[in-house]
Amino acid sequence: MRTLRQYLQALLNAKKLLAYTFLLCFFLWVTTPFLMILLKSFGRNWFGKLWFPPEFTLDWYKWAITVTNVPEVLRNTLVIAGIAVTISTLIAIPTGWALGRRQIPGKEVIMSTILLPRMIPPIAYALGVAQIFYRLHLIDTHIGVAIAHVAICAPYAILVLSSTFEGLDERVLEAASVCGANNLRTFFHVTLPLVMPGILSSIIFTFTTSYNEFTLTLMTYGPKTITLPVRTYLAVGEGYWEVTSALSMILIIPSLFVLFMIQRQVQPEKLVGGFKGV
């Protein structure tokens, strides 16, 4: 009996060990590239087969900021992301409301049409966008690049918001009005707080999508609208690996910040529901 238990215990431990090993591998697989870029962006005289840079410096960041004009590029990126997020959210709120809460004939067809720009290869889609934008003089304008981004940002927003609104319980809103709240107060005290996490996560997703977007920007940007991903790509072409790494780090920081925000702000269990027995 005892040997059996020990055997099972060992098996269980082995299972645990296996799980942890797997987790560690996964962790390394995800983080090592970041680590390489991080070291590269701070290291000096790091050549050949050395695993660790011999000296550290902040020079590459200074270079990146002055030579590649980071403030301007970052501003472009943020302005474009800002416009893209605003337009996407403005489109997605009514669309998501209609798709989530109304009976609409052909809902599935509408939904897959909305998701189409995400399904086809971005480069093919971007080519078509570029052709239209040349004719409309939208190439190399913030609004133009942002509109191109909306095509892939809005589907995310609509997807997130329609399920947020779908989960909003009509009877909770009715309860508010029976309690004496008029439409405006119901909206501010009940509806808005309940859908806010959904809207926030939609904004975060669309922001990161636009912020990281490369293909669509590549086909629509110009000298005045270079964004960080495109600038990083160009820096690779210029051959300064250290500067490129520094740029990549600058590119990563806001993404990490957003990830942190998601962890803090968006608590899905707070979204809607959480009732027992319903």
Q: Does 265 bind other proteins (CB under 8 A)?
A: no
Q: Does 251 bind other proteins (CB under 8 A)?
A: no
Question: Of 183-212, which residues contact other proteins (CB under 8 A)?
Answer: 185, 189-190, 193-194
Q: Does 105 bind other proteins (CB under 8 A)?
A: no
**Pick 33 or 193: Cβ nearer other proteins:** 193
Part in contact with other proteins (CB under 8 A); list of ranges 122-130, 166-174, 208-216, 225-233 = 166-174
> In angstroms, what is the minimal distance from the CB of 267 to other proteins?
10
Q: Does 176 bind other proteins (CB under 8 A)?
A: yes
Burial class (CB in 10 A: 0-12, 13-18, 19+), 170: exposed
Site string for other proteins, 111-150 (x = CB under 8 A): ----------------------------------------
**Pick 176 or 216: Cβ nearer other proteins:** 176
> In angstroms, what is the minimal distance from the CB of 167 to other proteins?
10
**Pick 190 or 250: Cβ nearer other proteins:** 190
Residues of the shown chain interacting with other proteins in the complex, contacts defined by CB under 8 A: 169, 171-172, 174-182, 185, 189-190, 193-194, 269-270, 272-278
